[in-house]
Structure formats: C-alpha cells, structure tokens
Amino acid sequence: MPPMYGESQESAISFISKLDLSPFSDPFDIESIMQYVDSVEPGNSAAKASIDIALHDIAGKLSKKPCYELFELPKVKSFCTSKTIGIDTPDIIRERTLEASAYPFLKIKLGTNDDRQIIQAVRDMSHQPLYVDVNQGWKDRSLALENISWLKEQGVVMVEQPMPVDMEDEMAWLKSKSPLPIVGDEGVRRLKDVERADNFYHGINIKLMKSTGLNEGLKMAKLARKKGLKIMLGCMSETSCAISAAYHLGSYADWVDLDGNIDVTNNPYTGIETHNGEFIDNNVPGIGLVNPESIWKR
Ligand code: MG
C-alpha cells in the first residue's frame, strides 16, 4: 500500500467492503465496473487498482490472451527495468550499486543536501546510465537547473519530479530550460492530471497504484502519446501481481522502473518476473499470474 497517498491495509479493506459488485455479471465490462468502483469514494487508488487488476486477469484468462493483446498492443521485445537505489550513506550506496551492476539502468533517489555525493558514490562503482528521482526535493528553480546540468554530465538521462507539485510556475520555467527530460510523478496521478502535464513535464510516470489500475493507466498512456509526452512505467513497493499487470503497458514505455517486487520479502505471487532487470514473458494469459488459485486457497 502507498502510505504517501493515505492508503493502508485497513483503508483498502474498508473501501473494498463498501463495494457491491453484484449488479455486474460481465467481467469484460471493465469500464462500467471501474466507473462504479471509482464513484463509491474518492482516493483509494491502490484499492481500486486491485479490482481493476483482478478484472483484467479474469478477462485475459477467459479469452486465453495476455492483457497486452486485449489492449491490441504489440508484445514488447526487449523490456528492462531499472533498479532503484534509495537515499543512504555513500558506503551503502556503493554497496547497492555494486549489487545492481547487472541492471541496464539504475534509478537514484536524490533531493538531499548531499545529492552530488550520492551520484559520486554511484559513479565510484558504475558507468550505468542513471534515472534520477528527486521526489519534489528541490525548492529553488535556478539551483534545480544547475543540478540538472551537472547531472547530465554525470550520465543521467532523465529527472523525475525535481520540484514540489504546487510550484507550477517554477516547474514550467525549469521545463523550458532543462537539458534533460523532466518526468512528473507526484504531479501526475490520474487521467485528469495528464491534461495539464505538458505545461510542467516532458513525460509522465504511470503507476497502477496511482491510476486505479490498467483501465485508466492505458487511457493515460494514450493521452500522453497524443500530447507528445514521454512515458515512464513505474511502481510502488509491490508484489509480482501488480508488477506483472504493469508489464502489459510496456509497449508504451520510454523508461521502465518496475522493480518494486524485487526486494519484497513477503511476495506471495509468481508472475512475469525479471532476471537482471530483463522481463521474461511467461505467456500466461491475463496479467501473467502463475497459479493464482494456490493463493486464493490459503
Ligand atoms: Mg518518483
């Protein structure tokens, strides 16, 4: 559950217990079901995503098709996730970087007073291209621009959410000057946010736990493309269930950060898994969950 958006196990159980899905008999009518689910209460995006993901898995398994085929999207050929390295001491960051040396990209969390030391620690161990996620951490636009220019010299290829969501004028200015693409994450949660996203960002980070699942996530991807925005596919800390679901939007992705299941120690699911960052499609219909029945029986 993403606590930063106010959700917990308790809030999810409470929300789902309010739903009455009995008027719906057609699991393929995901649009109507999700419209109803969304109307019951605002927020609860991850809880809503759980219904959406279950519906897509049912629809895919009944039609014997993977979800990307239901969406009439091509199968993605080479599809690799970055590995995220969180804020820590330079020693730990060097250790984590070494552990992630097989990944094609690293995603580095910044937004501290020691951002350059963090990048230096990564560069001590690795030449991998880097994504950087500032999580709204820079509050001064000139400093942000200076940082981005320096990061470009360090082999960074994009910067996620450099400034706070509500600093719109500063973000618009930064977008017009930035030598690297800027991607909105906290500032782009649902479809309505994509409408204005090109004022502040070159791209958007689509996460199923923000978008209420695949149905709206797909709409976000289509609108982003129409508006000329780049697309990052991202995640929270998630099980293989949600990561497998997100895989099916892969053909839209310019950047992929779907590593949320890798460090989860109580992940009950097996889905479309990765090896050194590369997704290995298991050709299981639906979202790609393997033997979900064994989970239901627990
Ligand atoms: Mg982010």
- The model carries a pTM of 0.96
CA distances from 226 to 41, 160, 195, 221, 257 (A): 30, 21, 10, 9, 22
The CA 2 to ligand 1 mean position distance, Å, reads: 12
The CA 41 to ligand 1 mean position distance, Å, reads: 25
Q: Between the CA atoms of 39, 44, 47 and 50, what dihedral angle is there, to the nearest 10 degrees?
A: 60
The CA 222 to ligand 1 mean position distance, Å, reads: 21
In the chain, which residues have pLDDT < 70?
A: 292-298
Q: Between the CA atoms of 79, 239, 225 and 169, what dihedral angle is there, to the nearest 10 degrees?
A: -120
Amino acid at 8: S
pLDDT at residue 3, as a whole number: 82
The CA 162 to ligand 1 mean position distance, Å, reads: 9
The CA 70 to ligand 1 mean position distance, Å, reads: 28
Which residues have beta carbons under 5 A from ligand 1 (an ion)? 133, 160, 185
The CA 284 to ligand 1 mean position distance, Å, reads: 29
Instruction: Report the SS3 class of residue 215.
Output: helix
Amino acid at 264: V
The CA 181 to ligand 1 mean position distance, Å, reads: 14
pLDDT at residue 292, as a whole number: 67
pLDDT at residue 298, as a whole number: 53
